[in-house]
Amino acid sequence: MNDGQAVVDLGELRPGVAPVPLQLRVSSTGEYDISVSSANSGKLRLGASDWSIPYSVAIGGNSINLNGASMLAGPGGSGFKRDSLPIQFLIGDVSDKRAGTYSDVISISVTAR
């Protein structure tokens, strides 16, 4: 993690859940919302080319729509809490795709409710 940014290497892309043990950790004194957006609308892109691989993300077991800004309610309850929400990347069809380094930028923000 560097200045609030993390680089996540999904390894060799294969269809299904990428084997990346990643968690979003939130400390809060109340309820909160999680906002998620993707620079490429849920596609891993090969540089500036038109080559792309679809993917989706789940946070805490909840699927996120990456086609626009998406809002997710954090776990309910009151009082101080420390939540560790697993983040999963589900890779779509990779057949007939050009080899190379595919990437996207996901923005995640947590705000008090």
The helix/strand/coil state of 101 is: coil
At 92, is the pLDDT very low, low, confident or very high (cuts 50, 70, 90)? very high
pLDDT of residue 71: 83
Query: What percent of the chain clears pLDDT 90, i.e. is strictly above it?
Result: 72
| Domain definitions of the chain by residue range | 16-112
Top CATH class of 16-112 equals mainly beta
| Phi and psi, residue 84, nearest 5° | -120, 105
Determine the Cα–Cα distance for residues 4 and 8; give it in Å rounded to an integer.
Answer: 13
pTM of the model: 0.85
Averaged pLDDT for residues 67-81:
79
More confident residue, 68 or 45: 45
Is the distance from CB of 53 to CB of 44 less than 8 angstroms?
yes
Strand partners, 87: 22, 59
pLDDT of residue 50: 93
Pairing state between β 102-103 and 32-38 = unpaired
Say how many Å lie between the first and final Cα of the chain, rounded: 26
| Phi and psi, residue 52, nearest 5° | -150, 160
